[in-house]
Amino acid sequence: MDRRQFLAGSGVMAATPVLAQAVATNTRTDIEPGLFKHVDFTSDGLAFNPLEYTTVLQEVATTRDLEADYYSNGGFIAGLERKFAQLLGKEAAMFVPTGTLANHLAIRKLAGNDRRVLVQAESHFYNDSGDCADTLSGLNLIPLALGRSTIELADVKHWVERSAGSRVAMKVGVISIESPVRRKDHELFEPGELERVCMYAREQGIRLHLDGARMFNLPLHSGKSVREYSALFDTVFVSLWKHFNGASGAILAGDAKFIDGLFHTRRMFGGSLPQAWPGVALVTQFADGYEEVYAKSWRAADQLIALLQSDTRFKVQKVPNGTSRFLLAAAGVAPDDLTERLLKRGVVLPHARPDTGVFPMQVNPTSLRTPSATLARVFTDSMSG
Ligand SMILES: Cc1ncc(COP(=O)(O)O)c(C=O)c1O
């Protein structure tokens, strides 16, 4: 009997689908001591270290039929693409090694010959992609809503009409929208305005792309499902390494005609990894049930916030229209000292903002590893040494 048959017979195979939750809640007794213990307020997911990552990968590889892909096509990757197409309610999906490239591939193809693209001035695509759209694809990005998350419909109309009415008439080809907006503490693009902008774009024949790197956090805060968001857009990118604990990776979803053959362009940009599976083999485990685990993580965070606020030294602020972040200030202790003391107790804080000393705290399932009352005590103990 080989190992896989043995595991199937022993019932381990049946237990595998709950792995994600078990790891998050630290209920497993058969894993190496010291692993999966940290509460980490810096991450969108479980912030695995290399040993934790390979421990989960080992379990996935021994309990599931994991078939290697070839240049990011076929094998495990094909199944992952089908799964995400279904989760997003799109006909097809393609694996891309980074979200940066996923956004670029989508927007350049959607634009075609209409090379003017409206984007949020605060978006990742405008700020953190090295002007790839201009340099490599000849696109002209127009940044709107400086300092804000939401582009108002009036702004969109103004730029569409201004472009069409120029000496050389230009058609806006694409509107790219990011929600939640990372640079704005993961604030939502206001959902009502989003629908109005998308409806207008459709009427004008303007194509729509969603940078939904963290879009699986949207339903809890907006009441709209992932599929409802996805349906507003021609193409959608979702990150595989933020919520779903891949080592890297992204999914780009759209209709079958759009995705068909796009792997050639992925390869042209050097983005077809000869073997992509090791970076994403555990993603499906965490995608199943993610929204439920995220809602639980917020319930735990709210308990922690209430306990911290009962101590006058802590001040907590929620982000208006926010998603996965709250802001924490601690009076009477230098931020670096608090960070160091908490780290010794297994709690990882993000860098405090240099101007205010405020910690931008990420809500994620690592907060389910320790009861909120215990965690609050760890914070209060760390105030004095
Ligand atoms: C909103 C947003 N879009 C796109 C990306 C790019 O993803 P990647 O790091 O996989 O290239 C990021 C990454 O941080 C992001 O936060």
* pTM, full prediction: 0.94
Percent of the chain scored above 90 by pLDDT?
A: 89
| 159 and 252 belong to one structural domain | yes
β-pair partners for 140? 116
In the prediction, which pLDDT does 20 show?
A: 57
In the prediction, which pLDDT does 13 show?
A: 35
* pLDDT band at 34; cut points 50, 70, 90: confident
Looking at ligand 1, which atom is closest to the CA of residue 181? 1
Q: Is 183 exposed, middle or buried (0-12, 13-18, 19+ CB in 10 A)?
A: middle
| 364 and 270 belong to one structural domain | no
Q: What DSSP designation does 319 have?
A: P
User: 120 is in which domain, residue-wise?
Assistant: 75-280
* pLDDT band at 10; cut points 50, 70, 90: very low
In angstroms, the CA 37 to CA 51 distance is: 13
CB 251 within 8 A of CB 230: no
For residue 9, pLDDT over 60 is answered with: no
| 180 and 213 belong to one structural domain | yes
State the CATH number of the domain containing residue 238.
Answer: 3.40.640.10
- Of 263, 280, 297, which residue is a domain's last? 280
Number of domains in the chain: 2
In angstroms, the CA 187 to CA 41 distance is: 17
In the prediction, which pLDDT does 7 show?
A: 36
Q: Is 323 in the pocket of ligand 1 (CB under 6 A)?
A: no
| 306 and 361 belong to one structural domain | yes
State the CATH number of the domain containing residue 50.
Answer: 3.90.1150.10
pLDDT in tens, 280-316: 999 999 999 999 999 999 999 999 999 999 999 999 9
* pLDDT band at 195; cut points 50, 70, 90: very high
| 39 and 146 belong to one structural domain | no
Looking at ligand 1, which atom is closest to the CA of residue 101? 11
In the prediction, which pLDDT does 6 show?
A: 34
In the prediction, which pLDDT does 30 show?
A: 66
Q: Is 184 in the pocket of ligand 1 (CB under 6 A)?
A: no
| Ligand 1 center–CA 57 separation, angstroms | 23
* pLDDT band at 31; cut points 50, 70, 90: low
Contacts 24+ apart (CB under 8 A), 191-194: 191/222, 191/224, 193/150, 193/151, 193/152, 193/153, 194/150, 194/232
Task: Tell me what the pLDDT averaged over the chain comes to.
Answer: 93
Looking at ligand 1, which atom is closest to the CA of residue 97? 10
CB 289 within 8 A of CB 365: no
Q: Is 119 in the pocket of ligand 1 (CB under 6 A)?
A: no
pLDDT in tens, 207-259: 999 999 999 999 999 999 999 999 999 999 999 999 999 999 999 999 999 99
Local structure of 210: helix, strand or coil? strand
In the prediction, which pLDDT does 19 show?
A: 64
What one-letter code names the amino acid at 120? Q
Q: Which residue has the tokens 């205010």?
A: 356
Cis peptide before 274 (omega within 30 of 0): no
- Of 249, 280, 311, which residue is a domain's last? 280
In the prediction, which pLDDT does 109 show?
A: 98
| 138 and 276 belong to one structural domain | yes
* Side-chain-facing half-sphere of 224: CA atoms under 13 Å: 18
In the prediction, which pLDDT does 22 show?
A: 58
| Ligand 1 center–CA 95 separation, angstroms | 14
pLDDT in tens, 339-374: 999 999 999 999 999 999 999 999 999 999 999 999
- Of 280, 304, 326, which residue is a domain's last? 280
Q: Is 261 exposed, middle or buried (0-12, 13-18, 19+ CB in 10 A)?
A: exposed
What one-letter code names the amino acid at 101? L
Q: What DSSP designation does 289 have?
A: T
Torsion of CA 321, 324, 329, 333, to 10 degrees: -170
| 173 and 207 belong to one structural domain | yes
CB 361 within 8 A of CB 350: yes
In angstroms, the CA 145 to CA 203 distance is: 22
Nearest residue to 248 via CA among 270, 226, 277: 277
pLDDT in tens, 126-145: 999 999 999 999 999 999 99
In angstroms, the CA 96 to CA 211 distance is: 13
| 84 and 223 belong to one structural domain | yes
Query: Pick the residue with more confidence: 70 or 35?
Result: 70
For residue 152, pLDDT over 90 is answered with: yes
Residue 68 has which token pair? 């290697």
| 121 and 52 belong to one structural domain | no
Residue located nearest, by CA, to atom 13 of ligand 1? 99
| 42 and 18 belong to one structural domain | yes
| 309 and 339 belong to one structural domain | yes
In the prediction, which pLDDT does 33 show?
A: 72
| 82 and 9 belong to one structural domain | no
For residue 3, pLDDT over 60 is answered with: no
In angstroms, the CA 70 to CA 96 distance is: 14
